[in-house]
Amino acid sequence: MLKVINILLYLVNQIGKPIVNYLIIEMKRKLLNYLSCMALVSIKLIYGQTVTNQSSLNSAISAAVPGTTIILSNNGSWANTTISISKDGTAANPIVIKAESPGMVVFSGNTNVKLGGDYIHFEGVVFENPPNSVSTDTPLIDFRVNSSNVCNNCKVSNIKIDAFNQGSSQQTSVFKWILLRGANNEISYSSFVGKHGVGSIINDNRDSPAVENFHKIHHNYFANRTPQGTSVVNEDNDQDAIRLGNSSTSLSDSSSEVYDNYFYDFVGEIEVISNKSGNNKYYNNTFENYSGALTLRHGNNCEVYNNFFLANGQSFSGGIRVMGENHKIYNNYIEGTRAKYPNNSSTNGLAGINIHNGILNSALNQYYQVKNTTIVNNTFVNCDLGIRVGATFNSSQNQPPQDVIIGNNLFFVDDVTIPSASSNRAIQVTTQLIGSVSKYENNIKQTSYAYDSFGSFDGGGNLNVEVPPIEPALLTSGNDIYNVVYGSAAIDYGEGNYLFLNSDVLGGTRPMGASIDAGAEEFNGGGAKRPYRQSDVGVTVGFGGSPTLNVDNSIKTESILRIYPNPIRGDYLNISLDNQVLGQVQIIDMLGRIISNEIYSSQKETIYVSDLTSGTYILKIKNVSKIFVKQ
Strand partners, 317: 292, 338
Mean pLDDT of the chain: 86
Is the model's pTM score more than 0.95? Answer: no
Residue 310, pLDDT > 80, answer yes
Spatial distance between the Cα atoms of 427 and 456, rounded to a whole number of angstroms: 13
> Quick one: CA torsion of 448, 450, 456, 457, rounded to 10 degrees?
0
DSSP H helices, 48-123, are 54-62
Residue 203, pLDDT > 50, answer yes
Instruction: For residue range 529-572, list pLDDT tens digits in order.
Output: 999 999 999 989 999 885 433 333 223 333 367 787 888 888 88
Residue 189, pLDDT > 50, answer yes
Lowest mean pLDDT among 43-47, 307-311, 588-592: 43-47
Residue 470, pLDDT > 90, answer no
Peptide bond into 102 cis (omega under 30): no
Mean pLDDT for 78-107 is 97
Spatial distance between the Cα atoms of 488 and 496, rounded to a whole number of angstroms: 20
Pairing of strands 82-88, 112-118: parallel
Higher pLDDT, 487 or 577: 487
CA angle 57, 58, 64 (to 5 degrees): 85
The type of residue at 532 is Y
Q: Please give the sequence-ordered ranges of beta strands (E in DSSP) within 342-415, or none if there are none.
A: 353-356, 371-376, 379-381, 385-391, 402-407, 410-412
Pairing of strands 594-600, 624-630: unpaired
Burial of 310 (0-12, 13-18, 19+ CB in 10 A): buried
Instruction: For residue range 330-353, list pLDDT tens digits in order.
Output: 999 999 999 998 888 888 999 999
Lowest mean pLDDT among 19-33, 339-353, 455-469, 500-514: 19-33
Higher pLDDT, 29 or 522: 522
According to DSSP, residue 443 is labeled -
Please tell me whether residue 186 adopts helix, strand or coil conformation. Answer: strand
Question: Residue 42 is inside which H or E element, if any?
Answer: helix 17-47
Distance of CA 93 to the CA centre of its chain: 26
Residue 612, pLDDT > 80, answer yes
Instruction: For residue range 258-281, list pLDDT tens digits in order.
Output: 999 999 999 989 999 999 999 999
Higher pLDDT, 104 or 592: 104
Query: 20 pLDDT band (50/70/90 cuts)?
Result: very low
Count Cα neighbours of 286 within 13 Å in the Cβ-side half-sphere.
Answer: 26
Count Cα neighbours of 221 within 13 Å in the Cβ-side half-sphere.
Answer: 27
Lowest mean pLDDT among 232-241, 282-291, 409-418, 605-614: 232-241
| Percent helix, percent strand, percent coil in the chain, to nearest 5 | 10, 35, 55
Residue 624, pLDDT > 80, answer no
Higher pLDDT, 431 or 581: 431
Residue 2, pLDDT > 50, answer no
What share of the chain in percent tops pLDDT 70? 84
Mean pLDDT for 46-67 is 92
Higher pLDDT, 442 or 29: 442
Mean pLDDT for 99-125 is 97
Higher pLDDT, 53 or 575: 53
Residue 443, pLDDT > 80, answer yes
Q: What's the confidence (pLDDT) of residue 232?
A: 62
Q: Domain ranges in the chain?
A: 2-46, 551-630
| Highest CATH level, class, for 551-630 | mainly beta
Q: What's the confidence (pLDDT) of residue 631?
A: 75
Residue 428, pLDDT > 60, answer yes
Residue of 354, 353, 366, 431 lying closest to 399 (CA atoms) = 431
Query: 42 pLDDT band (50/70/90 cuts)?
Result: very low
Lowest mean pLDDT among 486-495, 600-609, 616-625: 616-625
